[in-house]
Amino acid sequence: MKNSLIIALDFTGKEEVNSFLSKFNDEQLFLKVGMELFYQEGPRIVQELKEKGHQIFLDLKLHDIPNTVGKAMERLARLQIDLVNVHAAGGKEMMERALAGLEAGTLSGQKRPHLIGVTQLTSTSEEQMQKEQLISATLKESVLQYASLTKEAGLDGVVCSAFESEEIKRLLGSEFLTVTPGIRTAADEQGDQKRIATPAFAKEAGASAIVVGRSITNDPNPLEKYKQMKSQWEGVLQ
Ligand SMILES: O=C(O)c1cc(=O)[nH]c(=O)n1[C@@H]1O[C@H](COP(=O)(O)O)[C@@H](O)[C@H]1O
């Protein structure tokens, strides 16, 4: 889990996924299955990717009443994924029930998937947060509050931007996971992301893992781009 570069498979379906992965010469990867792919293909896509030896971050960002999220997590645990998330905004009780559901659903002899809480989405700016969510704190304070709540609920870490990672680790300990999306190289398009950082910046900030989607998936040579970003993340000079 730690030090992983997780590729976001934000594709419309299995065919696109297979064509993308065929360029990686059987390399074992850490892959993120998100809403788009999961809603199209269902749990089977997770099983198929696991059978090929990949690790899976199932990014469904659950956010509902505690009972519903707890029961849903019990089902998701059966998929034997490596990492799964909820929205921290759902509250401490919801997160506690999510964890309990995940534990209840994990088969004996299997490892419980890591559970992390999404703080403020990397597509949210401070201005937007203050205006739309009526939060008068700074964005960093809001992320730290969600991170503390997530830790109190017993979760393994958070999703945040690279800009908040260092402080979260300082406050909540180096073992508390910070998974950071919104990763771009200097040449990449920002798209809808607001808090973007390079792989090297995320490494400096002590991030546990980075999540990269379009920078790799939209590149004409995804394998090369993956290797480039991975070596920047791992601190190898180009
Ligand atoms: O939970 C996530 O993975 C997530 C949280 C967040 O705050 N921001 C964020 O971008 N993500 C996901 O990370 C991926 C980023 O994709 P790119 O912007 O294309 O690199 C997408 O699949 C998002 O759903």
Give exposure, 111-124, as e/b (b: 16+ Cβ within 10 Å).
Answer: eebbbbbbbbbbeb
Atom 9 (ligand 1): residue with closest C-alpha? 181
Residue to mutate, 11, 122, 229, ligand 1, most ligand atoms under 8 Å from C-beta: 122
What are 5's strand-pairing partners? 210
Question: Which is the closest atom of ligand 1 to the Cα of 191?
Answer: 18
Atom 20 (ligand 1): residue with closest C-alpha? 213
- The percent of residues in the chain predicted with pLDDT above 90, rounded, is 97
pLDDT, residue 107, reads 95
pLDDT, residue 236, reads 58
In this prediction, residues 128-140 reach a mean pLDDT of 98
* 26 pLDDT tier (thresholds 50, 70, 90): confident
* 2 pLDDT tier (thresholds 50, 70, 90): confident
In this prediction, residues 81-108 reach a mean pLDDT of 98
Which CATH number covers residue 48? 3.20.20.70
In this prediction, residues 127-156 reach a mean pLDDT of 98
Task: Count how many domains the chain has.
Answer: 1
In this prediction, residues 1-10 reach a mean pLDDT of 94
pLDDT, residue 238, reads 41
pLDDT at 237 over 70: no
Q: Which residues are annotated as a binding site?
A: 10, 32, 59-68, 122, 184, 193, 213-214
Q: What is the dihedral sign for C-alpha 1, 177, 114, 23?
A: negative
pLDDT at 76 over 60: yes
pLDDT at 181 over 60: yes
Atom 8 (ligand 1): residue with closest C-alpha? 122
Q: Ligand 1 center to residue 108 CA distance, Å?
A: 31
Taking only the tens place, the pLDDT of each residue in 198-231 is 999 999 999 999 999 999 999 999 999 999 999 9
Average pLDDT of the chain is: 97
What are the structure tokens assigned to 66, written together?
A: 């505690």
CA dist 238 and 231 (Å) reads 7
- Helices 44-51, 14-21: axis angle to 10 degrees equals 20
Interface TM-score (ipTM) > 0.95: yes
CA dist 141 and 31 (Å) reads 30
pLDDT at 178 over 90: yes
Atom 5 (ligand 1): residue with closest C-alpha? 121
pLDDT, residue 30, reads 98
Q: Is 61 a catalytic residue?
A: yes
Which residues, judged by CB distance below 6 Å to any ligand atom, belong to the binding site of ligand 1? 8, 10, 34, 59, 61, 85, 118, 121-122, 159, 181-182, 191, 193, 211-215
For 71, 170, 196, 203, 219, the CA distances from 192, given in Å and listed in that order, are: 32, 29, 10, 23, 17
Of the chain, the end-to-end C-alpha distance in Å amounts to 24
Domain span at residue 134? 4-234
Q: Are 12 and 41 in contact (CB under 8 A)?
A: no
- The percent of residues in the chain predicted with pLDDT above 70, rounded, is 99
Pairing of strands 177-180, 30-33: unpaired
What are the structure tokens assigned to 231, written together?
A: 């070596």
Type and span of the H or E element at 118: strand 114-118
Nearest CA to 188 among 225, 223, 224? 225
